[in-house]
Amino acid sequence: MTKTFQIKSFGCQMNVYDGERMAELLGAEGMVAAAPGADADVVVLNTCHIREKAAEKAYSEVGRLRRDDGSRPVIALAGCVAQAEGAEAKRRSKAIDLVVGPQAYHRLPQLLREVEAGARPVDTDLPPLDKFAALPARRRAGISAFLSVQEGCDKFCTYCVVPYTRGAEVSRPLGDLLIEAEQLVAGGTRELTLLGQNVNAWEDGSETLATLIRRLATLQGLERIRYTTSHPINMADDLIAAHRDVPELMPYLHLPVQAGSDRILKAMNRHHSADDYLRTLDRVRAARPDIAISGDFIVGFPGESDEDFEATLSIVRTVGYASAFTFKYSARPGTPAATMDGQLPEAVKDERLQRLQALVAEQSRAFNLSKVGAETRILIDRVGRKPGQMIGKSPWLQSVFVDSDARIGEMVDVRLTAALPNSLAGEVVTDSQEAA
């Protein structure tokens, strides 16, 4: 009988991408995805290790896979918790059959065969790019697809586990990326989001992320290009110029600053000051005035004073974010910040997080409101709940609800008519000449 699998991905978009590739890999082995809600023979938990209790959450997920009759599927622990825990995972949970890290999952079929033969293999090697060559070609693709172009991180921000779980910064070769992008577009993809922990550090010889974007923009059928996540110190002039010159490159930039105080930025080992960041954004906005800026913030980093936190609120006010992700600092074992003096009580972190979130919500509402009345194009990516309603993405990554008979994957010209809490309403514009 055909074996079924289920892949549960947690955390970042890189994990979503890895999860899709694992699904393709198991599909190529003759396995099929289990129907939603149905039992699977093999479950892959593609875990995230970025914040607290990540490992505990992963183990409780494992526990939940036990079936009513006491049996359980073959359980593979994958992703960053797998990388961080390694063989320890097998000791902590008898139910885990195999452990596979983010750079080794191309060996999943082999590891499953070892499980069948009675072993409990652990593969947390970090060979930088081997997996890509070993994975099957891309076929069926979503309207909006991820393409992993760069992995790992050499920046060593003092709070972050990524350099330890994803290894050193490596860029995939240009040729491989062009082939994968062509396969995705041939499979129906209209929008590509280039992924990397430091995506704007991507390079291949003299090629940069900007030249990669310019090449991808020439692919017939590819309408939109995005990239995430960027580091402020890699925001090169040519990439900024691409925001001015390449129409396919969407006016959206996720550029985390993490904090507004220079003292904290230094303790975080960010390699930039608040002012450096603001000047970078000035350059970006000079090239593309309407660009939506998004960011990540950590509140309650060790030693963060009230004054330091005020500096974070102040930089948020200066920038005016379209959206932002806010996190309470969480000590990650093995990172330098975990043993720094001045670890703050939860209550302080909670209070700061609330204040920051309120400010970000206000800004994001203001950003959405500023677009009401604008004419633009959306890429339809979902069917709405109401009859005749479709949902698409604006260039600024907002969800837009519209009554339209357009199908998923089509571009529709709309006028934005109202700002809702987390989205916009729009109406179809028939005279497409007017749309920007």
Contacting residues toward ligand 5AD, per CB under 6 A: 50-51, 159-160, 256, 258, 296, 298, 327, 329-330, 332
CA atoms of 74 and 413, how far apart (whole Å): 48
Least spacing, CB of residue 160 vs ligand SF4, in Å? 3
Reported as half-sphere exposure (CB side, CA atoms, 13 A), residue 210 has a value of 14
Strand partners, 375: 415
Rank residues 146 and 159 by Cβ distance to ligand 5AD and give the closer one: 159
Which member of 120, 156, 204, 330 binds ligand SF4 (CB under 6 A)?
156
Least spacing, CB of residue 11 vs ligand 5AD, in Å? 9
Is 80 known to sit in a ligand binding site? yes
Helix (H) or strand (E) holding 358: helix 346-370
Q: Which does 153 bind (CB under 5 to 8 A by kind): ligand 5AD, ligand SF4, none?
A: ligand SF4
Strand partners, 328: 299
- Least Cα distance to 8 among 55, 51, 40 occurs for 40
Least spacing, CB of residue 71 vs ligand SF4, in Å? 39
Contacts of 106 (CB under 8 A, 6+ apart): 25, 130, 131, 132, 134, 135
Angle at which helix 237-245 crosses helix 274-287, to 10 degrees, equals 30
Least spacing, CB of residue 338 vs ligand 5AD, in Å? 8
Is 380 known to sit in a ligand binding site? no
Is 400 known to sit in a ligand binding site? no
Rank residues 236 and 287 by Cβ distance to ligand SF4 and give the closer one: 236
Rank residues 256 and 395 by Cβ distance to ligand 5AD and give the closer one: 256
CA atoms of 27 and 136, how far apart (whole Å): 9
Q: How far is CA 351 from each of CA 256, 304, 318, 356, rounded to the nearest angstrom? A: 21, 13, 21, 9
Rank residues 19 and 167 by Cβ distance to ligand SF4 and give the closer one: 167
Q: Which does 156 bind (CB under 5 to 8 A by kind): ligand 5AD, ligand SF4, none?
A: ligand SF4
Do 400 and 427 form a contact (C-beta atoms < 8 A)? no
CA atoms of 7 and 29, how far apart (whole Å): 15
Q: Is 425 exposed, middle or buried (0-12, 13-18, 19+ CB in 10 A)?
A: middle
Is 314 known to sit in a ligand binding site? no
Residue whose token pair is 């961080």:
84
Q: Which does 255 bind (CB under 5 to 8 A by kind): ligand SF4, ligand 5AD, none?
A: none
Which member of 155, 355, 365, 382 binds ligand SF4 (CB under 6 A)?
155
Least spacing, CB of residue 250 vs ligand SF4, in Å? 22
Q: Say whether residue 14 binds ligand SF4 (CB under 6 A).
A: no
Q: Which does 367 bind (CB under 5 to 8 A by kind): ligand 5AD, ligand SF4, none?
A: none
Show the tokens assigned to 83: 């990388």
Least spacing, CB of residue 159 vs ligand 5AD, in Å? 4
Rank residues 82 and 160 by Cβ distance to ligand 5AD and give the closer one: 160
Rank residues 204 and 296 by Cβ distance to ligand 5AD and give the closer one: 296
Least spacing, CB of residue 10 vs ligand 5AD, in Å? 13
Q: Which does 231 bind (CB under 5 to 8 A by kind): ligand SF4, ligand 5AD, none?
A: ligand SF4
Strands 375-383 and 389-393: antiparallel
Amino acid at 421: P
CA atoms of 336 and 361, how far apart (whole Å): 31
Is 12 known to sit in a ligand binding site? yes
Q: Which does 163 bind (CB under 5 to 8 A by kind): ligand SF4, ligand 5AD, none?
A: ligand SF4
Do 80 and 105 form a contact (C-beta atoms < 8 A)? no
CB atoms within 10 A of CB 173: 14
Rank residues 4 and 150 by Cβ distance to ligand SF4 and give the closer one: 150
Question: Edge-to-edge, what's the strand order for the sheet holding 224-228?
Answer: 144-148, 191-195, 224-228
Q: Say whether residue 197 binds ligand SF4 (CB under 6 A).
A: yes
Site for ligand SF4 in 157-186 (CB under 6 A): 157, 160, 162-163
CA atoms of 319 and 146, how far apart (whole Å): 28
Rank residues 84 and 217 by Cβ distance to ligand 5AD and give the closer one: 84
CA atoms of 19 and 44, how far apart (whole Å): 9
Rank residues 26 and 81 by Cβ distance to ligand SF4 and give the closer one: 81
Strand partners, 295: 324
Residues making contact with ligand SF4 (CB under 6 A): 153, 155-157, 160, 162-163, 197-198, 231
**Known binding-site residue numbers:** 12, 48, 80, 153, 157, 160
**Known binding-site residue numbers for [4Fe-4S] cluster:** 12, 48, 80, 153, 157, 160
